[in-house]
């Protein structure tokens, strides 16, 4: 198994979250208050990260959580993993020091993706690309979160940093069409040179986009339970992953946030088979697509 879409701040162990909160004299988290639930909006889900981020401001805590995520992934049979996070949200040290702290926690089968956020100044994305450049364990950049009408900057404003990442040989993935227009996928591929798409749930609504994804061999990072929680799908069985595979749209199954969605990659694969109807052959295809889509430097 290969895990291509796992957020560090959404995948902290609950015991670790409690322990760090206690040490930092923060209110103890309650499971039902921290975890996602069915049908919440994306913006409501994003607010849940505030608590986990609050205990992950110091480099040593970032190192610990990165290491524990790797341990947990190895325990369920994950062979290769890419952990993503937005180091600019961890204010206890410089971005460079926070990234190095995360690298210190990785095992030899894991790498990092740095996340810029929709609505951030393009200069921040440029900064992340420059931080990634001399660090081979940082294999990709991402545009994460979701666009809002109130944002000063839109997806087209991030063309420059993504073009720079391509020149540097850094992988590119973009959160797109997470219940929104599939045209986001088209823009991400044609203008941001995305090699992978996070979520992409509405792709089947636009045949031109389907054809583009197949032509460019862009892999969709499917996060089934996460999509249920953010209200993108009404039931796990409604996820379009089965139809994606039938139409030969490359896809890899991912967990997204193991704590916040109370899941892991093995659970997501089980859901895809028992509730979405994937066969053993289908799952094997997702393994192969995922392995081929790993970012390498």
In the residue annotation, 178 being an active-site residue is answered as: yes
How far, in Å, CA of 50 to CA of 184, rounded? 26
Distance CA 228, CA 90 (A): 28
**Pairing relationship of beta strands 219-222 and 110-117 according to DSSP bridges:** unpaired
Which H or E run contains 111?
A: strand 110-117
d(CA 90, CA 97): 10
CB-based contacts of 291: which residues, under 8 Å, 6+ apart? 2, 80
Residues 117, 145 contacting (CB under 8 angstroms) = yes
Rounded Cα gap, residues 100 and 259, in angstroms: 23
- DSSP tag of 143: E
Find the catalytic residue in 3, 82, 120, 178. Answer: 178
What is the rounded distance in angstroms from the CA atom of residue 297 to the CA atom of residue 172? 12
Positions annotated as catalytic residues are: 178
């Amino acid at each position: 198994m290969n895990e291509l879409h796992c957020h560090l701040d959404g995948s902290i162990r609950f015991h670790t979250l409690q322990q760090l909160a206690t040490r930092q004299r923060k209110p103890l988290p309650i499971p039902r208050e921290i975890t996602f639930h069915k049908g919440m909006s994306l913006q409501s889900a994003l607010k849940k990260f505030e608590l986990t981020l609050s205990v992950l401001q110091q480099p040593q805590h970032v190192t610990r959580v990165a290491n524990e995520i790797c341990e947990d992934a190895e325990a369920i049979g994950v062979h290769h993993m890419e952990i993503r996070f937005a180091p600019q949200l961890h204010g206890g040290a410089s971005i460079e020091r926070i990234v190095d702290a995360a690298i210190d926690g990785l095992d030899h089968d894991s790498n990092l993706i740095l996340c810029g956020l929709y609505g951030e100044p393009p200069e921040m994305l440029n900064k992340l690309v420059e931080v990634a450049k001399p660090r081979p364990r940082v294999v990709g950049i991402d545009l994460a979160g979701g666009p809002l009408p109130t944002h000063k900057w839109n997806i087209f404003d991030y063309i420059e940093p993504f073009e720079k990442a391509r020149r540097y040989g850094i992988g590119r993935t973009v959160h797109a069409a997470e219940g929104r227009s599939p045209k986001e996928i088209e823009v991400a591929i044609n203008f941001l040179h995305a090699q992978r798409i996070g979520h992409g749930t509405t792709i089947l609504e636009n045949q031109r986009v389907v054809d583009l994804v197949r032509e460019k061999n862009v892999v969709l990072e499917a996060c089934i339970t996460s999509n249920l929680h953010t209200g993108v799908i009404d039931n796990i069985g409604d996820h379009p992953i089965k139809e994606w595979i039938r139409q030969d749209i490359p896809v890899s199954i991912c967990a997204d946030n193991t704590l916040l969605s109370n899941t892991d990659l093995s659970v997501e694969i089980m859901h895809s088979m028992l509730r979405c109807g994937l066969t053993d052959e289908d799952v094997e295809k997702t393994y192969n697509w995922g392995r081929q889509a790993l970012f390498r430097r």
